[in-house]
Amino acid sequence: MLTHLGTISIETFLRDYWQQKPLLVRNAFPDFESPLTPDELAGLALEEDVESRIVLENGSEGPWQLLNGPFEESAFSQLPETHWTLLVQAVDQWVPEAQEFLEQFKFLPSWRLDDLMVSYAPQGGSVGPHFDFYDVFLIQGHGQRRWQVGPKADDDSPRVANTKLRILKNFKVEHEWVLEPGDMLYLPPQYSHNGVALNDCLTYSVGFRAPSVGEIIDDLATDAISHHKDHQRYTDPGEPLANSGEISPAAIEGLKATLQKALLDEGLLRNWLGRYMTARKYPELDISQGADADWAEQLYSGALLQRHPASRFAYSQTGADSAQLFVDGEAVATSLSLAELLCGGDALDWQQLQNHLADKGGRNVLEQLVEYGALYLD
């Protein structure tokens, strides 16, 4: 895990930069070794299950043309010499070294982490000036890229027409840096940015997701509805009226109290947040690997229990030794110690798990996770 961002301590970063303002970190990863090569990245873009795209600055159909993967090998030989970018999402789910690299970001909540996206671009390659709703760490993996950063933008900012990409029409450059391998740029959500490859260039983007308020209300309300009975209703304050047509401040207070009781319940919020934030990025992909029935014996004989790279784990303490464990959008009650072990991220051995396996509840949880595929034997 990173303990410093360049010369800045994690505490200072979290206090002064995280979710607030951009930060350029020179040499954030001294001797950075790219977990994959451009050829390996292109190989991933051929795979059915991998999300990939190519952005052409001057496409046959017009400027800023977007092509969606998976691609045929021949697609790459048809690309121009310069000014295009290949982007591959969730490389951490497919390349173990890429997943390991994400360990560096454990100073932030893992359930906020979305994925590691990797891009390759020849000289001039760029996806155009744009903004994201993500916190993102942009790490230069190979070659050089010139990053320009401008003010915050939003959905009302004018965009370039006739492209599926959301390219900002008026991009005002406020900062400009050339990033070398191992350098990193942190951008909070909405900051406009434009990265142009100066030569053959690999860029790693570590993105952190945050639900929009609209999504929160929508999804949380759906959760809450299932817990409420039709007889639970708004009640009026029963106050003397000057005009029977008035919706009084007390009536609005009454509605507020009703909603508070219905939506702001701690248990409901905990469950919703845990389940929502651990939903898998690609829930349609089957992660089960046909677990062996004798997995516990194999563990005893020295095998290690690993978390599936696509699985998302989180927990929340509910008592002195109890917790809600969230895995891939499901909640289960466990002991706090088991939840902590499973969410620590390390491979687990027999020694660490033997007490939990001896406990009926603990064994059940482990059994379920192995069967489903979130845990597997290495």
Query: Given the complex with Co ion, which of 168 and 341 has the nearer CB atom?
Result: 168
Using the contact rule CB under 5 A, the part of the chain among 53-61, 62-70, 128-136, 352-360 near Co ion is 128-136
Smallest gap from Cβ 120 to ligand SIN, in A, equals 9
- Tell me the C-alpha distance between 93 and 55, whole Å: 22
**Of these partners, Co ion, ligand SIN, none, which one is at the site of residue 195 (CB under 5 to 8 Å by kind)?**
ligand SIN
If binding means CB under 5 A, how many residues of this protein chain bind Co ion? 1
CA atoms within 13 A on the CB side of 70: 9
Cβ count within 10 A of residue 12: 13
Which residue's CB atom is positioned nearest to ligand SIN? 119
Q: Pick the closest to residue 185 from 6, 55, 16 (CA basis).
A: 6
- 87's enclosing H/E stretch is strand 84-88
Helix (H) or strand (E) holding 223: helix 213-225
85 binds, among Co ion, ligand SIN, none (CB under 5 to 8 A by kind): ligand SIN
CB 127 within 8 A of CB 147: no
Q: Which of ligand SIN, Co ion, none is residue 38 near (CB under 5 to 8 Å by kind)?
A: none
Residue 195 binds to ligand SIN (criterion: CB under 6 A): yes
Choice from 28, 113, 127, 206 touching ligand SIN (CB under 6 A): 127
Closest separation between CB of residue 5 and ligand SIN, Å?
A: 18
Beta-sheet pairing, 375-377 with 4-5:
unpaired
Q: Is residue 222 helix, strand or coil?
A: helix
Q: Kindly tell me which of 35 and 362 has the beta carbon lying closer to ligand SIN.
A: 35
85 binds ligand SIN (CB under 6 A): yes
| Cβ(24)–Cβ(183) below 8 Å | yes
**132 touches ligand SIN by CB under 6 A:** yes
The CA-to-CA distance between both ends of the chain, in Å, stands at 23
The type of residue at 199 is N
Instruction: Check residue 205 for interaction with ligand SIN (CB under 6 A).
Output: yes
Cα–Cα distance between 22 and 14 in angstroms, integer?
Answer: 12
d(CA 289, CA 287): 6
Question: Which CB sits closer to ligand SIN, 132 or 219?
Answer: 132
**132 near Co ion, rule: CB under 5 A:** yes
DSSP 8-state symbol, 370: H
Among the listed residues 34, 203, 334, 335, the single contact to ligand SIN using CB under 6 A: 203
Q: Does 119 bind ligand SIN (CB under 6 A)?
A: yes
- Give the binding site for Co ion (CB under 5 A): 132
- Give the binding site for ligand SIN (CB under 6 A): 85, 119, 127, 132, 136, 193, 195, 203, 205
